[in-house]
Amino acid sequence: MTTFLFDGPEAADITILLAHGAGAAMDSAAMTASAKVLAQSGFRVVRFEFGYMAARRTSNTRKPPPRADLLKTEYLAAVDALGATDKLIIGGKSMGGRVASMVGDELYASGKIAGLLCLGYPFHPPEKPEQLRTAHLADLKVPTLIVQGTRDPFGTRDQVSSYSLSKRIEILWLEDGDHDLKPRKSVSGHSAADHLKTLGEAAASWAQKITS
């Protein structure tokens, strides 16, 4: 049975379903901060965990995550278990957003979702820019917002600018942000709170655009 964490107004017009990254749970600091700011922007935010991560809570072992494509059925099951009757956007942090992007077009074509929100998309493994994870993004049909730090080791602004991405994908670049979207204030002049505020405002504006 899927366990969910909820933030934001229950009667919100738009729900966002988020999955976690490969190594941190749904209640990690980065996931919680993003969920809270999205909730403050008026969304109903729902977080869930894939089975391997949920198992870590009751086991002394720390098994590595399965390949992202093997988690697609779990993401689809979470959408079904949530049973959202309002407008739904899916996505997640890093690997969670990647898995959501793999099932996004299927759900969009069937009318189950309105969009895709990825927080720190893992375009490639760190220090392995030749191992791209972008093939399915070239023809993506679902309206997509990727929020990415400019120095994210999984895909910097300079690297991503050379990729062939669908015109349905919008990228919000957060200056000097790392994989958790956090900047160095001494370098960028921005704080983590500044970038979270920008995330919330941009997501709200984008969501209204794709659902109106």
Per-residue confidence of the chain (212 residues) as pLDDT tens digits? 689 999 999 999 999 999 999 999 999 999 999 999 999 999 999 999 999 999 998 887 788 899 999 999 999 999 999 999 889 999 999 999 999 999 999 999 999 999 999 999 999 999 999 999 999 999 999 999 999 999 999 999 999 999 999 999 999 999 999 999 999 999 999 999 999 999 999 999 999 999 99
pTM recorded for the entire structure:
0.97
Element (H, E) at 209: helix 192-211
In the beta sheet, which residues pair with residue 146? Answer: 118, 171
1: CB partners within 8 A, 6+ apart: 81
Q: Diameter of the chain by CA atoms?
A: 47
